[in-house]
Amino acid sequence: MTTRRAYFALFMGAVLFSFNGVVAKWVMEAGMSPWRLTEIRCTGSVAFLLIYLASKGRMATLKPAKGEIRSLIIFGVIGIAAVQSFYFFSILKLHVSIALIIEFTAPIWIVIYLRFFKKVQISPTMWWGLIAAFVGLVMVGEVWNGLTLNGMGVISAFFDALSLATYFLLGRTIGKKRAIDSTLTWGFGVCAIVYAVAMPWWSFPFHVLTKSVELHGRYAGHHLPGWLLVASVVLFGTVLPYICVVTGLNALSAQVASIIGMLEPVFAGVFGWVLLRETFNTIQLIGAAIVLVGIFIANEKIPEGGVDG
């Protein structure tokens, strides 16, 4: 794959993921919990991917290599299930873009992991990026006013950031050994199994799929079928953007992928403002910009190839 196509794939992944936040919020406001939405999202996605692999006669690609099972399970539990669960919970409690800004501090945690666990030498400039990101987060949360953001939403968003860092690291490593669709099938499959055991399907809120869901925000008073919104979350908000991201991740580095991924909170802010009527004050907007600049500075200083260990 050419570098240009890899960048375009990551860009489209950011657009699709950010718009999915709006659709997912409509579904959860209709009565589906973040956990159940994650469950049906992963199950629907793995079903789609299994049908695709079977139609191409490529089911054999799912066979794990020796010693690979552990990494694939961790990828599914943390890189897929945890990322999605914490993300859905955080956007239910916060503005979509604010949740994503916190989530995309993932590059910072990658840097810290490399420095203190892998003993990789990091440029001093990275620490200025870390400080900038921290100051920006303080401004976004308006901490001096007693933290204006929902506390549980913020905690969930930070757990999401740590999970996303794991996704970038493992996705890059696993992607060197197996195809994109096979990697994602394993990830979504593990997620689906974990949720099927923890939250059996016979108690699933199927009524949300058959009801007419009101679209809050700009389109208040308008309705769409619940099944259509959930189908959009599965196909356009999951399968396609994940394929885009893993495609770009295989051709580029984890830090480059996460830098481009920073477009996601920007797009989410636009979609949230236009479709959900989510608004921000001047201090929060400045803080959000500082966070993104800080992440960019820190991320630029990650040694190339350092994330592969």
218-255 pLDDT, tens digit each:
888 899 999 999 999 999 998 888 788 777 877 776 66
Identify the DSSP state of 302: S
pLDDT, residue 208, reads: 94
Q: Say how many C-beta atoms besides its own lie within 10 A of residue 187's C-beta.
A: 31
Q: CB–CB of 108/130 below 8 Å?
A: yes
Q: How confident is the model at residue 306 (pLDDT cuts 50, 70, 90)?
A: very low
Helix, strand, coil content of the chain in percent (nearest 5) = 75, 0, 20
Gyration radius from the chain CA atoms: 19
Give buried/exposed letters for 256-270 (b at 16+ CB in 10 A, else e). bbbbbbbbbbbbbbe
Token readout for 21 is 């936040």
CA distance 16 to 304: 27
- pTM, two decimal places: 0.83
CA distance 281 to 181: 42
Report the percent of the chain where pLDDT is more than 70.
90
CA distance 165 to 171: 10
Identify the DSSP state of 253: -
Helix or strand holding residue 19 (H, E): helix 3-29
CA 80 to the chain's CA centroid:
8
Average pLDDT, the chain: 84
pLDDT in tens, 166-211: 887 887 778 778 887 888 899 999 999 999 999 999 999 999 999 9
pLDDT, residue 140, reads: 78
